Amino acid sequence: MHHLRHFPETHIALAHGNGGRLMRELIESLFAYHLQNDLLDTDVDAARLPIDPGSGEIMITTDGFTVEPLEFPGGNIGSLAIHGTVNDLAVSGATPLYLTLNAFIEEGLEVAVLDRVLASMAQACRESRVRMVAGDTKVLRRGQGGGVYFATTGVGLRPFGLTLGMAQIRPGDSVVLSGSIGDHGTAVLLAREQFGLSGQLHSDTASVWPIAQALLARPGLRFMRDPTRGGLATVAHEIARQTQAQIRLMETQIRVLEPVRMVCEILGYDPMYLASEGRVVAVLEPASARTAIATLQGLGYQDAAIIGRIETGPAQVVLQTEIGGERILQELEADPLPRIC
């Protein structure tokens, strides 16, 4: 890590947040080194965004990341922060363009850990074709943070006339899921090693913009959402509550990887409520849903499937089980896995 030659400290100190020389070295040697682009200027207080508003609507989203541990199989808090922000724009139908970053670093954090996290963040920016344009750094006293927390803002551009949302959903529409569920929540849980469990499962953290683009090309697209905290069941409940319709999900069509299934059986979790960070739940008109699945599978999303439908009936979520019965999925109450994103 040649860029750390001019950064002799191995751990973050309170002085790295005081606005002076040490803070400047931290920003230049780590943040600017990894995240540099033609719009990032660490000497100004506001960034210029070259957006032509005549070509669409400007969309903005904000998010916070407190995942524990900071690093887990398949990603870390850095890549997760980028993917989480980009994905909220993508499922809104916006092309992700620009991000800002607030870093809240705990005194005593290893500089090598921060370096790895920022390298992963920069790689996710490149892959997602977004640019980090502004940021701010604070250092918290030891014991007041979880190593590092990130807060992000994302800006994107959505074409005029794109009508996406729960108000568009109609009885008879199909519910589509782009892949397996609960991979991220389970990977983070395993990384905590609180239960003496370990495994090869990786988080599904990734940009969903390629999925969103494929779905946006379908004329019958009604709605998209990424099933993060609270998982698939929580998205289904939001749809049921907003549309006052019944959502019927088919258990046989919902892919749950074997390691996820095993961990859930051992610890008593339900994969329907576990976070996924690289998946899309979408509602489409039935004919469009069938062609969308073929398109997604052609792009490499082999587990994409039609997993349910919107029905007239009470505003509830019904799971049609593998053995042919039914159970009503209750709304999530207590958070089974805090600090998951």
Q: Is residue 293 part of a domain?
A: yes
Q: Burial of 5 by CB count in 10 Å (0-12 exposed, 13-18 middle, 19+ buried)? A: exposed
**Averaged pLDDT for residues 193-203:** 79
Question: What pLDDT, on a 0 to 100 scale, did the predictor assign at position 5?
Answer: 67
Give domain status of residue 339, yes or no.
no
In a domain, 338, yes or no: no
- Boundary-marking domain end, from 158, 187, 206: 158
- CATH code, 196: 3.90.650.10
Same structural domain, 88 and 224: no
Please determine, for residue 304, whether its predicted confidence score (pLDDT) is greater than 60: yes
User: Does residue 123 sit in the same domain as residue 19?
Assistant: yes
With 80 as the cut, is the pLDDT of residue 194 above it?
A: no
In terms of Cβ atoms closer than 10 Å to its own Cβ (0-12, 13-18, 19+), residue 229 is: middle
Q: Look at residues 118, 136, 158 and tell me which one is the last residue of a structural domain.
A: 158
- Residue 55 is predicted with a pLDDT of 82
Q: Is residue 337 part of a domain?
A: no
Please indicate, yes or no, whether residues 151 and 239 belong to a single structural domain of this protein: no
Indicate the residue among 158, 177, 210 that finishes a domain.
158
Report how far residue 119's alpha carbon sits from residue 8's, in angstroms, rounded to the nearest whole number.
19
Note whether 188 and 47 are same-domain residues: no
Question: Which phi and psi angles does 76 have, rounded to 5°?
Answer: -155, 180
| pLDDT over 90 (residue 180) | yes
**Residue 93 pLDDT more than 90?**
yes
Q: pTM value?
A: 0.94
Query: How would DSSP label each residue in 207-271?
Result: --HHHHHHHHTSTTEEEEE---TTHHHHHHHHHHHHHT-EEEEEGGGS---HHHHHHHHHHT--G
One domain, residues 154 and 174: no
- The domain of 320 spans 166-329
Residue 336 has pLDDT above 90, yes or no: no
Confidence of residue 193 (pLDDT cuts 50, 70, 90): confident
What is the pLDDT at residue 321?
A: 93
**Domain presence at residue 336:** no
Same domain for 201 and 178? yes
What pLDDT shows up at residue 255? 98
Kindly report the CATH number assigned to the domain that includes residue 81. Answer: 3.30.1330.10
Q: What is the pLDDT of residues 96-121, one digit of tens each?
A: 999 999 999 999 999 999 999 999 99
222 against 199, higher pLDDT: 222
Same domain? For 91 and 188 the reply is no
Q: Is the pLDDT of residue 225 over 80?
A: yes
Same-domain check for residues 180 and 312:
yes
Could you tell me if 89 and 196 lie in one domain? no
Q: Give the per-residue pLDDT at 26.
A: 94
- How many whole angstroms separate alpha carbon 20 and alpha carbon 59? 35
Average pLDDT of the chain, as a whole number: 94
Are 8 and 130 in the same domain? yes
80-91: average pLDDT: 98
Q: What's the total number of domains in the chain? A: 2
Evaluate whether residue 63 is within a structural domain: yes
Q: What tens digit of pLDDT does each residue of 236-283 get?
A: 999 999 999 999 999 999 999 999 999 999 999 999 999 999 999 999
String of DSSP letters for 107-154: TT-BHHHHHHHHHHHHHHHHHHT-EEEEEEEEEEPTTSSSSEEEEEEE
Percent of the chain predicted with pLDDT > 70? 97
Residue 307 has pLDDT above 80, yes or no: yes
Do 137 and 187 belong together in one domain? no
Are 204 and 261 in a shared domain?
yes
